[in-house]
A = this chain, B = another copy of it.
Amino acid sequence: MAEAASQDLLLAAAFVSDAQYNRNIPFKTSPEAVRLYYLYNHWIMRTATYFFIFLNLSLAVFEEPAVYPLPFLVTSVVEVLCLVVFFGRLTHFAKVTLRNVFWKDTKNICIMVAILLSLTDLAIYGVLRMYDVRSIRWSRIVRPIFLINFAESRQIRRAFRSIRNTLPEITYVFLLFMFSLLMFSLMALKLFGERNLQTAEGLPYFKNYLEIVFDLYVLVTTANSPDVMMPAFDFSSWYALFFIAFVIVNTYIFMSLFLAVVYNNYKKHLKNEIRKLAYMKHCKMIEAFNILKEEEGAQFVVREAQWKQLVKLVAPDISNSHRELLLRISDDEQKGFIDKKSFVQLADLLNIQVITLKIRSHPLGQWMPGVYKSAVSRFLRSMVRHRFDTLIIFAALTATILNTTLKSTTKYNSQQILDIVFILRVLRLIRIVDSIQRFRVIMNTLINIVPTMLTFGGLTLVVYCVFAIIGMELFHGKIQFFPANSNAPHSLECGNAALKDSLFARAKYCKNNFNNFASSFIVLMELTVVNQWHVFANGFANVTVQPAKLYFIAFHIVMVIIIVNIFVSFILEAFFVEYSLEKSEVETAIEQKIQELGMGVQEDELQDEHLLDNMESAEHDLEGEGGTKPQSKGLVFKIASKRYRTVDSLLQRMFEAEIPLEDEGPSVEEFLNLFPTAAIPSNVTSESAA
């Protein structure tokens, strides 16, 4: 993440230069604070935070109504533990951040309020429970706040900001759409209301205005097509024209318009965000340069010694040779100092993954040539080289273990495990597909989408959590699932007489209920897929009250009209970027430099060979190949595959090409115009902190 890197660099620069308090750095720069800052950003700490966030979210599986019930004492202790961890993490962040910056950040306030609310609710619920009073655990709805507001979840926050910014535009289209819907409903009432028609279920057809509005809303999602049309169509073929007009206007035009508005706004706001990030990165690098600069002739520069100290501090785990490469690139005339222009690039340079290949034979090959050349070793080496394959084998292994575990509880047999292993082996075919040139753009798009899917996964998780918790409060226990040969009363009507003769019971949807967290998620997934959602809406409205349909309409608007459209927008954009943009400029520069210095291994060479030994690995050693070139240090470098990128880098790659970064960036006035709400630097800086 380039943004974090520039932040780290600025902090490290302040530390290296022993600079005192600087108004542009939101962090304390005492050695103690910097140590704490690195600890805060350590991957173990981050992973632990995510672990506790998901533990907290997954409590819903074990709390009433539970998939796997646990005593209240256990879940409440775990919840308190999670909250303590969150509080600790927040305190840690407060210790490395300047006080005024910390308290100005709404995210921190949000987390604190959420912790307080959760504790209060837990206490009230616990006390009421002691007196056997059942109450609602309403605070569970605030749990997703932890997922959104911890600094690590920048992408999810960004997606939410995009949605918030897109809302006004969507509202206008939505109002027009509602207007059209209400007009068509009025027409339908006038056209069909007095004809005494009946639906296929024998119910009155298009009699009640509100029901017509609902039915036509469902038709917009196509879920009840062509059933909703059939009674009128059977009466007269001409009435089909009404429905054709309706579908063209509302399903095709308005739904496309929603996609257009969402895509347009999402792209616009994302562009602003990335531009903001790029600008902040630039500012911070210039700030870091100013801290470290010394006069050299007519210009200010950073000395090599300080530069090295800085890089060591900020990226302690890169090799000496890699650091030397970066120095050679930054100081290409070997003058012993780095000028401003090269220094500013450092954050980007550090983010390019360079693979260092040592030009010497394997130690095992030197010491025990017999063992090294044995078939087993050869196999191991070829396995290590085929990462995609290895991944699949690991997946197969995991599946096998999972199955063995499940075997104890369910009735799996070894045949089925072998089947799964066989299927996973078939996935090896993907490698063949990938090796065909024409498929690579598509495959690259698909691979690039994967990390971003995590963001949408997070977004979906938040929306699902909120709707699942509301859904469980509304519909819990109303619908029961009984196995096929059950003798329970109303077992065919999902245990509820109100569902007699309903489409819901007839389609055997009883297992789709809100009785626990997992079931709710599956129902919400089915609602996201849209088809038959009206059957769900009618079913749940029958067992509770008719306005319960609003829950389903709200979910449709939030999930399908907004979030799925954002998902589609992202895929569209990722595809267009993959088609139009080949390599980012900085990457090309570093590749060029590697080649110039004669230290490079052509990526194409590697790839081509990779393709040649497609299914069976021919023996070929990188070592010999590297040796054919004049080598300065006995090392070759190559840029790691561009196929595996982080979300941020993909987003930056999308827009950075359009943003000029050579200049000093927009002036502060321009910047304030671009992001009127951004208080510079505290707010923006803290937003991108950690």
Residues of A within 8 A of B (CB): 172-173, 175-176, 179, 183, 186-187, 190-191, 194, 200, 222-227, 229-230, 233-234, 236-238, 240, 244, 247, 251-253, 256-257, 259-261, 263-264, 406, 410, 416, 419-420, 422-423, 426-427, 429, 433, 438-439, 442-443, 445-446, 449, 481, 483-484, 506-509, 511-512, 518-519, 522, 525-526, 529-532, 564, 567-568, 571-572, 575-576, 579
Contact = CB atoms under 8 A, between A and B. Distances in A.
A224 B264 CA distance: 32
Contacts of A191: 419-420
Contacts of A223: 531
Given A200-B507, A531-B223, A257 B575 contact: yes
B224 A531 contact: yes
A427 B182 CA distance: 11
Nearest to A527: B226
Contacts of A423: 183, 186-187, 190
A253 to B, nearest CB: 6
A543 B442 CA distance: 40
Q: Which of A225, A483, A512 has the most chain B CB atoms closer than 10 A to its own CB? A: A225
Given A234-B511, A449-B253, A571-B253, A226 B526 contact: yes
A442 B507 contact: no
B187 A512 contact: no
How many chain copies does the complex carry?
A: 2
Contacts of A511: 230, 233-234, 237
Contact of A259 (B172, B229, B426, B568): B568
A236 B433 contact: no
A442 B172 contact: yes
A507 B512 CA distance: 22
Contact of A183 (B183, B256, B426, B484): B426
A632 B416 CA distance: 92
A230 B260 contact: no
A247 B481 CA distance: 24
27 contacts: A172-B439, A172-B442, A176-B433, A183-B426, A186-B426, A187-B423, A190-B416, A191-B420, A200-B506, A226-B526, A226-B531, A226-B532, A227-B532, A229-B526, A234-B484, A234-B508, A240-B525, A244-B525, A247-B529, A251-B529, A253-B446, A256-B572, A257-B442, A260-B575, A264-B575, A264-B576, A264-B579
